[in-house]
Structure 1
Amino acid sequence: MLQRAQVRITRHLEAELLVAHDLPLASYDVLMQLAEAPERRLRMNDLAGRVLLSRSGLTRLIDRLQRDGLVAREACADDARGLFAVLTERGASRLAEATPTYLRGIRTQFLDMLGPDDIGQVRSMLAKLDITGAP
């Protein structure tokens, strides 16, 4: 049942973001994670863990975002093999444009279906599961 709800909500968010902003949900998630990170940057390995993508899947997604000017790659000063993904100003603007659509989708597909007590219970359950997305 939980999986069905997740799939339904995810499909709705994906469709809304694509129609309104030509931005897939996975791309939105990457931009959001970078926006919330210190200096708007994360090492690629850390970013892959936060967005639940394989390193190769993230690499392909970052390639597309970089081509669109939404993300840049920067070398890691203390690790010659390490790379950072960095949110660009254009990426931050695109995220700001898409966020109301994303939040509206979360509200209409999830929050509006729950009462105040339900939301408190969900918050409590999620806290117990520690699914914050942080490593």
Structure 2
Amino acid sequence: MADVANINPLNRDEEAFLRALGRVMTLLPRIVDADMLEEHPISGTEYMVLVHLSEAPHSQMRMSELANVCGLSLSGMTRVVNRLESQSLVIREKSPDDGRAWLAVLTSAGEKQLKQAWPTNLASVRRHVFSRLDGCDIAAAVEVLERIAPR
């Protein structure tokens, strides 16, 4: 347990940054989900799963690895993949390398859905994020965020 006596409290700017970051982490996924679901049968989270699968070798990833890159628990990823599987956008296969592991595999229908949803996702993040960052150094912001959550 940390020794509270030896920890400096957050200053005003640090506190403001932490609270603003928390609001972004909470609200942005909800906003993008709403925009996506208005036009497509997939949420922003489901869209990102399809994106990661499309970028992976052979359009497949181990479920645990996919959960990690999407910032979800394995059980959370299982629920997302179940929804995508029910729409035939993803299938699950046993890993040929490890019989205990499961792979999520992007289907051709999933690739088609990804291409259809891309403009909606792009418009949403442009409207809710990048339209508000005029004059900001985006590369510097990426560097700061990657210090918190390295790739």
TM superposition score normalised by structure 1: 0.88
Shift, 1:76, TM fit: 1.1
Q: Which runs of 5 or more residues in structure 2 are unaligned?
A: 1-19
Residues 3-29 of structure 1: per-residue CA shift (max 9 Å, x gap): 112333222101000001021122112
**RCO higher in structure (CA 8 A, sep ≥6):** 1
2:50 paired residue number: 31
SS of aligned partner of 2:85: helix
The aligned length equals 132
User: Is 1:56 matched with 2:49?
Assistant: no
2:125 paired residue number: 106
Structure 1 segments (4+ residues) deviating >6 Å? none
- State the one-letter code of the partner of 2:133: L
- State the one-letter code of the partner of 2:110: G
Shift, 1:64, TM fit: 1.8
Shift, 1:94, TM fit: 0.5
Larger radius of gyration: 2
TM superposition score normalised by structure 2: 0.79
Identical-residue share of aligned pairs (%)? 36
Q: Which runs of 5 or more residues in structure 1 are unaligned?
A: none
Residues 111 and 119 in structure 1, CA contact (< 8 A), matched pair in contact too: no
Residues 71-92 of structure 1: per-residue CA shift (max 9 Å, x gap): 0111111211111100000001
**Distance between the aligned counterparts of 2:114 and 2:91, measured in 1?**
15
